[in-house]
Amino acid sequence: MENFTKPFTRQEAIPEAGIDRAVEIMRSGKLHRYNTEAGETAEAALLEKEFAEYLGVPYCLACASGGYALHVALKAAGLQPGEKVLTNAFTLAPVPGAINNAGGVPLLVEIDRNYCVDLVHLESLMQSEAPRYFMISHMRGHLADMEAVTTLCEQYKVVLIEDCAHTMGASWNGKASGTFGSIACFSTQTYKHINSGEGGFLTTTDAEIMARAIMHSGSYMLYERHGAAPDKDTFKDIRLDTPNYSGRMDNLRAAILRAQLPLLKDNCERWNELYRAAETGLQKINSIELSERPSLEYYVGSSIQFRPSSLTTPAQVQDFVTRCMKRGVELKWFGSEDPQGFTSRYDSWRYLGEAPTLPNTLDVLSNTLDMRLPLTFDTADIKVICDIIASELLNTD
């Protein structure tokens, strides 16, 4: 039987228009976002305006990474040292890292079998711990019932911050992911939905939060050169009260992102075509459990998660992952005790102190496998991949 040979980490090329513009900027030497001449608007400011319009919000800050946006979001929202911040126990390491960096302490919430926060556990923590912040991570693009989440946040007076690293382009009941909380953070790192190597956005409808975020990002007193910022009166006091945590986006990255933004909607559909092909292929394998996708969720299927119920021990899961890899199919196991590559289980974030016992999360992750679906694949590739997964599962002893 054939092996699969395409790399799971290969992204599509940057559109030619973006490359041309980036070269122009390099020829001009004006890479820094504030390096403009009279009457000129920097690429980074244009990108902020365009992303704000795309999302339908008034304010957007382009910054150095998604993790940086999460950090600044907490600072701009007024997090005090030592304060607890609710967040999903299943997320990527930059999320608890950003909370730690902002001086907060993550308060981990259980997930359900669809990889979303468990709303019952969430409410019980809101009651018992009275936290002021919830950084919800839409991990792997799974959106929780966002109406229920926002209702709980309102009831317990919790500020909601959305980590939309995997949901750029997604929506819940017709409302864009990133417009439910007080602040949303996006990543433009290579493996996300638009690619500038590193980069991120912070968006909000709150003028004061945005003024603080802009000052934090390292705007010096040049905040008027931002593309989707509040008017200068909003900065009057804030500019003197807000430390500079230098983390701006440069014009080169902005140029290549501007060229990708118009393609995002179509690309989301292309991801979903791959996702549906993978879902159909994996559904045919009896022992595989897939998550349910609620009808109110419009997801962007840039990755798929599945649980083979026939793999019941860590050794069996590890062996299966290794055999798939030998045949060119790269799966990630989020349940591994030992963090590998981009994955890490919550109890390996040792800097948090003693890890809470979250039996549901551990149970779900124990055999959760994750597969990237890059746009350099087509549906024929997905068929080959699913056949390999099926045959290797049959080989499990």
Out of 50, 61, 65, 226, the residue judged to bind ligand PLP by CB under 6 A: 65
Q: How many chain residues are in contact with ligand PLP, going by CB under 6 A?
A: 15
Distance CA 298, CA 143 (A): 9
Per DSSP, 362 falls in state H
| Residue closer to ligand PLP (CB basis): 198 or 319 | 198
Q: Please identify which residue in 14, 45, 66, 193 interacts with ligand PLP, judged by CB under 6 A.
A: 66
CA distance 255 to 252: 5
Using CB under 6 A as the binding rule, whether residue 117 contacts ligand PLP is answered as: no
Buried b / exposed e across 198-224, counting CB within 10 Å, b at 16+? bbbbbbbebbbbbbbbbbbbbbeeebe
Kindly state the tokens that stand for 290.
Answer: 């897939």
CB-nearer residue toward ligand PLP: 79 or 386: 79
> Judged by CB under 6 A, which of 62, 72, 85, 95 binds ligand PLP?
95
Angle, helices 314-326 vs 379-394, to 10°: value is 130
DSSP structure string for 176-235: ETTSSSSEEEEE-STTSSS--SS-EEEEES-HHHHHHHHHHTT-TT-GGG-SB---GGGG
- What is the SS3 assignment for 306? strand
Please identify, using beta-carbon distances, which residue of 136 and 209 lies nearer to ligand PLP: 136
Q: Which of 87, 167, 171, 187 lies at the binding interface for ligand PLP (CB under 6 A)? A: 187
Least Cβ distance, residue 2 to ligand PLP (angstroms): 31
- Contact between 91 and ligand PLP by CB under 6 A: the answer reads yes
Quote the least distance from Cβ 31 to ligand PLP, whole Å. Answer: 20
Of these, 142, 166, 225, 332, which contacts ligand PLP (CB under 6 A)?
166
C-alpha torsion sign, points 135, 300, 328, 309: positive
Q: Is 92 in the site for ligand PLP (CB under 6 A)?
A: yes
Interface residue with ligand PLP, options 48, 112, 163, 250 (CB under 6 A): 163
Q: Which is nearer to ligand PLP, 162 or 387 (CB)?
A: 162
For residues 180 and 173, give the distance between their C-alpha atoms in angstroms, rounded to a whole number.
11
Judged by beta carbon, residue 137 or residue 179, the one nearer ligand PLP is 137
Between residues 95 and 393, which has the closer beta carbon with respect to ligand PLP? 95
In this structure, the chain runs to a length of 397
Q: How far is CA 211 from CA 101, 134, 279, in A?
A: 20, 21, 43
Binders in 227-266 for ligand PLP, by CB under 6 A: none
Q: Where are the beta strands (DSSP E) in 6-130?
A: 59-63, 84-88, 105-109
Which among 34, 43, 6 is positioned nearest to 384, based on CA atoms?
6
Looking at 167, 171, 182, 189, which residue binds ligand PLP (CB under 6 A)?
189
Task: Using CB under 6 A, pick the residue from 62, 165, 277, 329 that binds ligand PLP.
Answer: 165
Q: Is 137 in the site for ligand PLP (CB under 6 A)?
A: yes
Minimal distance, residue 346 CB to ligand PLP, in Å: 13
Among 21, 51, 67, 209, binds ligand PLP (CB under 6 A): 67
Q: How far is the CB of 311 from ligand PLP (least distance, A)?
A: 25
What is the longest distance spanned by two Cα atoms in the chain?
A: 70
Cβ of residue 195: shortest distance to ligand PLP, in angstroms? 11
Query: Which positions lie near ligand PLP, rule CB under 6 A?
Result: 65-67, 91-92, 94-95, 137, 139, 163, 165-166, 187, 189, 200
